[in-house]
Amino acid sequence: MQHRIVVLGAGYTGAIAAGRLAKRLRRQDVAITLVNAEPDFVERVRMHQLAAGQDLKPRPFREMFAGTGVELRLAKVTGVDVDRKTVAVVDAGGAGELAYDTLVYALGSGWNAQGVPGTAEHAYEIASRPGALRLRERLARLDAGQTVVVVGGGLTGLEAATEIAEARPDLDVALAARDGLGDWLSPKGREHLRKVFGKLGITVHEHTAVTGVGADHVTTADGETVPAAVTVWTTGFAVHPIAEATALEVAGTGQIVVDGTMRSVSHPDVYAVGDAAMVMGPGDKPLRMSCASGTPTAWQAADAIAARLTGGKLPNTPIRYFNQCISLGRGEGLIQYVTADDRAVRAVLTGRLAAVYKELVCKGAAWGVANPTLGLPTRRRPVTRERAAAGSAVKAPA
């Protein structure tokens, strides 16, 4: 009897986990099903480029997983019953149900409106492909001189503002940041960021909290009204709400609480990866929601599942940060080197070389989805009948 592994979500982490499991385990021993609502892989780290009018290379999952044994199920996940070990889905044929022995929860996150009035009705988001395409269409209809306000001074906001300003120099682009511009960066990083923003003509509203969004303006906490023909909302991410509706133990953020192998602390047959997981990193600090955090959690989960099913050694690789990669349009970039717990150090890489570096990182992330075998042996290990029957709750020997 094959051990049934169901992976929910085919973003960076879900797709990597599914492919890595297929490389670690024998096809006759396991049945791996990858559930995703879209047929193509979405390069989320490039959504600001898509919104600014650039076309991205299509990456169909059926081509990426051809010959791997991973079965793609095009469906929307509507619920998870961790007691019955089933997943409720809706596809072109209607509602259905999938049973699992091991579940990898990788539904990730979407934009976070932060409860600000008017955001859901009037703001645009770039946390998803539909959102980026909607913004792209709206920007294309703007006349010269109209104002675009990007709300949020984090990495996504910086990339969105500079990409739009570079692609549409005829628009008046502004950024509203709750804190100072790039204040978490090193002094050299902040200096370069201000230089690029100045060159692109981006107006910066620092230490500005946006408390309302209208059809043609945003309102700030001090009562100021800032004109905005288009408001782009980039104030962080919120996890998919399905996990919180289950019996899984979740944190206040709605993320699934996991151990060092990405295994749920309350349900040992469930693993969570990427933005869906509450993962503690160096300094006992939660990892930030990002591709940089998510990819190693996918490796960790896949290797742990394989180890528990085959009697192998459990992974024990610390997850840490090395740098923050920021694109500032197509010709400029900023690579901020950081400590293991994501604090900026003095060293930075800037300019054209940094832009090339960031592009290589993006290409490498997409390559890693289709080739998730970094550090893996070429021989697949067999799953014993006893371990497959018992499921992933069986602990590997010490």
CA–CA separation, 254 and 238 (whole Å): 8
Burial class (CB in 10 A: 0-12, 13-18, 19+), 138: middle
Burial class (CB in 10 A: 0-12, 13-18, 19+), 284: exposed
| Shared fold status for 3-110+237-319+372-390 and 115-233 | yes
31-43: average pLDDT: 96
Task: Centre a 10 Å sphere on the Cβ of residue 221 and count the other Cβ atoms it contains.
Answer: 12
CATH of span 3-110+237-319+372-390: 3.50.50.100
Query: How confident is the model at residue 321, as a pLDDT?
Result: 94
Query: How confident is the model at residue 392, as a pLDDT?
Result: 46
CA–CA separation, 66 and 50 (whole Å): 27
The ranges assigned to domains in the chain are 3-110+237-319+372-390, 115-233
pLDDT reading at 394 higher than 80: no
From 192-196, 351-355, 382-386, the region with the lowest mean pLDDT: 382-386
Query: How confident is the model at residue 190, as a pLDDT?
Result: 98
pLDDT reading at 43 higher than 80: yes
Output the DSSP codes for 363-398: HHHHHHHH---TT--SSPBPPPHHHHHH-TTSPPP-
pTM of the prediction?
A: 0.92
Query: How confident is the model at residue 316, as a pLDDT?
Result: 84
DSSP helix/strand/coil, 298: helix
Pairing label, strands 172-176, 147-151: parallel
pLDDT digits (tens, 9 = 90+) for 155-183: 999 999 999 999 999 999 999 999 999 99
What average pLDDT does the chain have? 93
* Helix 291-310 and helix 351-370, axial crossing angle in degrees, nearest 10: 30
pLDDT digits (tens, 9 = 90+) for 179-218: 999 999 999 999 999 999 999 999 999 999 999 999 999 9
Please report which confidence band the pLDDT of residue 390 belongs to, taking 50, 70 and 90 as the band edges. low
From 43-57, 213-227, 279-293, 334-348, the region with the lowest mean pLDDT: 279-293
Instruction: Give 232's contacts (C-beta < 8 A, 6+ positions apart).
Output: 51, 123, 124, 125, 126, 135, 148, 149, 150, 151, 157, 160, 161, 164
Instruction: Give 66's contacts (C-beta < 8 A, 6+ positions apart).
Output: none
Assign a CATH topology to domain 115-233. Answer: FAD/NAD(P)-binding domain (3.50.50)
